[in-house]
């Protein structure tokens, strides 16, 4: 099949006419001229959309679908549907063959770009974590700020409530999270039984403890994402609730003069874990926003386009939860001093900042968020 790149009706030269067919051909000239006039009228107002679709499809064919920006990826299926509509009309009114061939070719290429098979599983994963995931995260900056703000509100409220009365700790922290810690805990209990408890070794921490933490955190994160489909309000409430729990722990340790040690202990895994939680919540809010304000799309179309991207962010966050589980289950107790823990957390934060800030950006182009 010939590949068309220009919707010009001069798709090919007509064959030379023999003298015997001259009279009949001359009679057909007015009809051909009328056909070209109809084609030109039909193209008016539609051709810019065809050219835009052709440009996006050509770029995706050369460099992959991930080379398109978020806005271009959203427009691609809309432009494809518009081209299919144009093709149906062109067939119905019997426009000239060159235009029909161009639209058929363009529609086929666009279909393969939008719905066609992609690369293998490993290649898809590599492309997702190298480009798609960080790009999608950068597009959620506003949602991340809102979710993180809700978490901070909860932390402040929980801290103030427990500092006012330590007995409020059990009102904010369920027993399974308290782990025996509470108003009755002494400074020595917190130091020796929690902050600087002996490292039990590789097998227990990495295989048993880290696995349990990963499953628990991933479930909480995916729950915060899923609640976004209820217009986002439950997601924000969940983050305020988690913040209350965290603030209660900070206040409990502050009462014993262990604020800095507790924050260092928390930061080893907390940088990654809180980031993953915020990503899940932000993805949920993005879904809620597109359900409430779908723009030019129907709510179902908006959910299909943006929901898939948000689900990709939540899936990527699960990978971060795995890393956080390993850090919490092993490295947190293995690093047995507070300065070392803060240094480790700083390196982790800079690594995530570099990954999400730089990965997936096209060299020489600033169009990607």
pLDDT greater than 70 at residue 25: no
Instruction: Determine the average pLDDT of the residues in 180-191.
Output: 92
Provide the pLDDT confidence category of residue 20 given band limits of 50, 70 and 90. Answer: very low
3-state SS class at 293: coil
**pLDDT reading at 135 higher than 90:** yes
pLDDT reported for residue 204: 63
Which range in 86-95, 177-186, 346-355 is most confidently predicted, on average pLDDT? 346-355
Decide: pTM greater than 0.75: no
- pLDDT category of residue 22 using cuts at 50, 70 and 90: very low
CA dihedral sign, ordered 80, 86, 92, 94: negative
How high does pLDDT run on average in the chain? 82
Segment among 3-7, 149-153, 214-218, 287-291 with least mean pLDDT: 3-7
Structural domain boundaries of the chain? 27-117, 128-358
Highest mean pLDDT among 39-48, 142-151, 302-311, 314-323 belongs to 142-151
Sequential DSSP letters for 233-256: HHHHHHHHHHHHHHHHHHHHHHTT
The whole-number average pLDDT for the span 170-198 is 89
Q: Which residue has the tokens 């001259």?
A: 22
In the chain the first and final C-alpha atoms are separated, in Å, by 37
- Alpha carbon separation from 76 to 5, 108, 263, 365 (Å, rounded): 17, 13, 47, 20
Of the two residues 133 and 201, the one the predictor is more confident about is 133
Q: Which of 140, 276, 174, 272 is nearest to 221 (CA)?
A: 276
Contacts of 174 (CB under 8 A, 6+ apart): 245
Instruction: Give the residue from 207, 185, 183 showing the smallest Cα distance to 194.
Output: 185
Residue pLDDT, tens place only, 191-225: 988 898 887 666 666 666 666 677 778 888 888 88
Q: Given a cut of 70, is residue 14 above it in pLDDT?
A: no
Instruction: Average the pLDDT over 227-248 and give the result.
Output: 91
């Amino acid at each position: 099949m010939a590949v068309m790149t220009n919707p010009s009706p001069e798709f090919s030269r007509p064959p030379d006419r023999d003298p015997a067919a001259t009279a009949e051909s001359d009679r057909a000239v007015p009809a051909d001229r009328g056909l070209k006039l109809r084609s030109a009228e039909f193209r008016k107002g539609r051709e810019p959309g065809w050219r835009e679709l052709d440009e996006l499809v050509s770029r995706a064919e050369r460099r992959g679908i991930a080379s398109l920006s978020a806005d271009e990826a959203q427009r691609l299926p809309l432009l494809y549907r518009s081209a299919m509509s144009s093709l149906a009309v062109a067939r119905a009114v019997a426009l000239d063959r060159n235009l029909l061939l161009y639209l058929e070719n363009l529609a086929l290429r666009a279909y393969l770009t939008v719905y066609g098979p992609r690369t293998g599983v490993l290649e898809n994963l590599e492309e997702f974590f190298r480009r798609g995931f960080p790009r999608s995260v950068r597009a959620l900056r506003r949602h991340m700020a809102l979710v993180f703000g809700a978490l901070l509100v909860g932390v402040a409220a929980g801290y103030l409530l427990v500092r006012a009365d330590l007995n409020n700790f059990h009102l904010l922290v369920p027993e399974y999270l308290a782990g025996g810690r509470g108003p009755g805990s002494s400074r020595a209990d917190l130091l020796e039984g929690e902050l600087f408890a002996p490292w039990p070794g590789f097998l227990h921490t990495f295989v048993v403890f880290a696995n349990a933490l990963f499953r628990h955190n991933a479930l909480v994160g995916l729950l915060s994402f899923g609640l976004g489909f209820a217009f986002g309000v439950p997601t924000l409430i969940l983050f305020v609730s988690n913040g209350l729990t965290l603030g209660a722990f900070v206040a409990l340790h502050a009462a014993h003069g262990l604020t800095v040690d507790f924050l260092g202990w928390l930061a080893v895994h907390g940088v990654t874990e809180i980031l993953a939680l915020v990503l899940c919540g932000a993805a949920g809010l993005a879904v809620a926003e597109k359900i409430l304000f779908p723009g030019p799309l129907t709510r179902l179309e908006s959910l299909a386009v943006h929901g898939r991207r948000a689900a990709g962010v939540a899936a990527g966050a699960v990978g971060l939860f795995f890393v956080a589980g390993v850090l919490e289950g092993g490295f947190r107790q293995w690093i047995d001093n507070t300065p070392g823990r803060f240094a480790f957390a700083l390196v982790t934060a800079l690594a995530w900042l570099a990954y999400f800030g730089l990965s997936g950006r096209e060299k020489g182009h600033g169009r990607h968020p």
